[in-house]
Amino acid sequence: MSKNIVVAIDGYSSCGKSTLAKALAKKLHYIYVDSGAMYRAVALYFLRNNIDTKNSEQIEEALKNIHLNFHSRDYETHITLNDEEVSEEIRQMPVSEKVSEVSALKAVRREMVKQQQRMGKSKSIVMDGRDIGTAVFPNADLKIFMTADPAVRAKRRYDEIHPKNPDVTLAEIYENIAHRDYQDTTRAESPLVRAHDAIILDNTDLTPEQQLKFALDRVEGLNR
């Protein structure tokens, strides 16, 4: 393809959006941008610095001091918060419990969208999140909206977290996912909603290889 391509992958939490986006970007030699990791890193900063999410002055001041970057190592994408590697810490439960609240803030979304749009101007990218195809890149070349059965999503998340956090329970994960679904779909600022031109991908019963083929077939269709 001669022009830069933007692939937007949206959907519910723990649907495997990042897994698909990473695999697709690697296969196509595109840049992978994990928007969810950006919001998690902001949530981590807010937690560490006791930022009051109802205090607009604190929020604006915090955002001036948050500098995020992505880098690749061992074929994996890592995120730094003010030059500190935080890829592992942002996946822990305290951040998971805070991220929907933080990402619902207008000032936070405005700043992250600006950073995300800059990333998509000069290169072909795959970006996953909640509002990529609706707010960040409404003219994306391909939009995929991912969903899966909540019980399956909870089990996947549990399998990911439990080895690093043995005290976490499946019930806690399920409750967290249900809470995040509610917050993501009902927030006033850029709620999670399927773009009218997004292709639905329900991966409840799909393997990572099957969902990658699904996406690759759609990207290849852009050339036809």
Residue range 130-153, pLDDT digits in tens? 889 998 999 999 999 999 999 999
- The band of 1, judged by pLDDT with boundaries at 50, 70 and 90, is very low
Question: Cβ distance 34 to 135 under 8 Å?
Answer: no
Q: Which tokens belong to 193? A: 């909603």
Calpha distance 25→70 (Å, rounded): 14
Q: According to the model, what pLDDT value does residue 31 have?
A: 84
Query: Locate tokens 């269709």: which residue?
Result: 221
Calpha distance 28→99 (Å, rounded): 30
Q: Which residues of 128-155 are buried (b: 16+ CB within 10 A; e: fewer)?
A: bbbbbbbbbbeebbbbbbbbbebeebbe
Query: Locate tokens 């009051």: which residue?
Result: 52
Q: According to the model, what pLDDT value does residue 107 have?
A: 96
Q: 180 by DSSP, 3-state: which?
A: helix
Greater confidence (134 vs 3) lies with: 134
Calpha distance 72→66 (Å, rounded): 20
What's phi and psi for 193, nearest 5 deg?
Answer: -150, 145
- The band of 190, judged by pLDDT with boundaries at 50, 70 and 90, is confident
pTM assigned to the model: 0.78
DSSP state of 205: T
Mean of all residue pLDDT scores within the chain: 91
Contacts of 173 (CB under 8 A, 6+ apart): 154, 157, 158, 161
pLDDT at 70 over 60: yes
Q: Which tokens belong to 66? A: 């948050």
Q: According to the model, what pLDDT value does residue 64 have?
A: 95
